[in-house]
Amino acid sequence: MRAKDALGQYGERVAARHLADAGLTIVATNWRCADGEIDIVARERDVVVICEVKTRRTDAFGTPAEAVTRTKADRLRRLAMLWLRDHPAGGHAEVRFDVVSILLPRAGSPAVEHLRGAF
C-alpha cells in the first residue's frame, strides 16, 4: 500500500470516529461506483450527510479542506444523487455536504475540523 493511501485510510477512520462521537450514524464508508467514491455517508436525524475527508501531514500548501475544489464538490453532488438513487432515504430526506479536515502533526493527536454544510 502506498503511503498516501495509508494516510488517507487513517484519516477516514479518524473522521468516522469523530462523526460518530458527534452523534452522527455512519451509514457507509468508501462507497464506490463507476463515477467515483464517497468517503463517508452518515445520517444526522433526518439529514443524509455526504462527507469528504481530506488528510494532510502539513498545512504548508493550505489546509486539508482547501483541497476540496469546486470540481470535487460538483463530483460529490453527482455521486450523492447516485447514492440516493441506490439507497432510498425513506422519503424526502435533506442532504448536506460536509468536509472533515484531518491534520496529522509529527507528534500528538490529529487535529480534526468538521465543516458542516461546506458546500
Count up the domains in the chain and report the number: 1
Q: What angle do CA 59, 63, 65 make, to 5 degrees?
A: 150
Residue 9 belongs to what domain range?
3-115
The CATH number for 23's domain is 3.40.1350.10
Q: Judging by beta carbons within 10 Å of its beta carbon (0-12, 13-18, 19+), is residue 113 exposed, middle or buried?
A: middle
Q: How far apart are CA 55 and CA 63, in angstroms?
A: 9
Q: Judging by beta carbons within 10 Å of its beta carbon (0-12, 13-18, 19+), is residue 48 exposed, middle or buried?
A: buried
pLDDT single digits (tens) 21-80: 999 999 999 999 999 999 999 999 999 999 999 999 998 889 999 999 999 999 999 999
pTM of the model: 0.92
Q: How far apart are CA 16 and CA 100, in angstroms?
A: 9
Q: Quote the pLDDT of residue 6.
A: 87
